[in-house]
Amino acid sequence: MRPAFSVLFLTTLIGVGQGLLVALVTAQFFLVIGADGAGETGGFYALGSVLALILLGLGLLASFFHLANPGRAWRSAAKWRTSWLSREVILIPAVCGLAFLYALVHWLGWSPVLLVFDNGKALDLPMALGFAAAGASLALFVCTGMIYACVRFVRQWASAWTVVNYLMMGLASGFTLAAAYAALSGSALRDFLTVAALALTLLAMATRLYQVRRNGRVRLKSTLKTAIGSHHPQIRQISQGFMGQSFNTTEFFTPGAAETIRGLTLFFTLAGFVVPAILLAASLGGDYGLLMVAAALCQYAGLLAERWVFFAAGNHVQNLYYQARA
């Protein structure tokens, strides 16, 4: 499949944004259940989720470049019952809205207690909104992953690993950014977030490399035999019906994909996972804010390459009908 840059930026940017939101909420929850009563200022969370909002907004902006008729984008919420794309379209603004509210109540320091538990802990409004925002972010990961995982005709995509990887890579990059943010703002959450980012990055590497391995082995379910309904064991296409290009030859193929995929797979393994993991481990326990920013940027570049590979490696069934270039 042809990697469209709008979609590469959309999926990676909102991935970081959602991951950052989840990281902030996890950190807040960590402090709430941590008994020592240490807290973080509302401003920390507010600024953090504004950062997430900016990333989500940039992703949304990128997505509009993908649509040929962006003016009608509102229509795409219509078929949420059947279409994962429609569900994603609904969830992105929902996550943005919840992130905004989360930032707002933190900024205003408005934290009425909603529930008191038996052990004396309380659920206040910012935490509750945080849970909602994190839940919506996780649901959005599932939607984005399912958009690709439910395309049965691309075997490389049609597996649960697609969803797992969208989730894992989004969380890893979000936590790395959150750790860098915490380090820069001198927050006590720095080490917690760094350890979490490190663990998620390694886990994401494991699941993504597993999918790379799986994709090296999958075969198309269809053959030219079923494509044209001839029982002959040996069929070859002489003409695809035209000599120029068509939507079928541009949208579903990536020129020079095989070599680029090999090179970029190595690149994203290093830049997306190995290098950030080393940088995160190196900055553990010390005050290396800039090093962690470098880790986050490096990881983003790596994940952008990863997304390119994800698309380029997808081999659509329809390609069976477009093998002869004449």
Nearer to another protein, 8 or 25 (CB): 8
Buried b (16+ CB within 10 A) or exposed e, 221-243: eeebeeeeeeeeeeeebeeeeee
CB 63, CB 24: distance < 8 Å: no
Amino acid at 6: S
Nearer to another protein, 79 or 121 (CB): 79
CB of 50 to another protein, least distance (A): 29
Least Å distance between CB 178 and another protein?
Answer: 31
* Residue 326, C-beta contacts closer than 8 angstroms, at least 6 positions apart: 238, 239, 240, 243
CA-wise closest residue to 283 among 145, 191, 148, 157: 191
CA 180, CA 252: separation in Å to the nearest integer?
A: 38
User: What residues form DSSP beta bridges with 316?
Assistant: 154
The least CB distance from residue 225 to another protein, in Å, is 10
Burial environment of residue 250 by CB neighbours within 10 A (0 to 12, 13 to 18, 19 or more): exposed
Contact yes or no for 33/121 (Cβ under 8 A): yes
Q: Which residue, 110 or 242, is less far from another protein as judged by CB?
A: 242
CB of 90 to another protein, least distance (A): 10
CB 28 within 8 A of CB 105: no
C-beta closer to another protein: residue 115 or 235? 235
Cβ-contact 1, 254 below 8 angstroms: yes
What is the nearest approach in angstroms of another protein to the Cβ of residue 81? 9
Q: Which amino acid is at 66?
A: H
CB of 229 to another protein, least distance (A): 5
* Site of interaction with another protein (CB under 8 A): 1, 66-70, 72-73, 75-79, 82-86, 89, 147, 150-154, 221-222, 224, 226-230, 232, 234-242, 244-248, 250-252, 316-319, 321-322
Question: What token pair was written down for 317?
Answer: 């069934």
**Shortest Å distance, C-beta 268 to another protein:** 23
Least gap, CB of 243 to another protein (angstroms): 8
| DSSP states of 264-291 | HHHHHIIIIIIHHHHHHHHTTTS--HHH
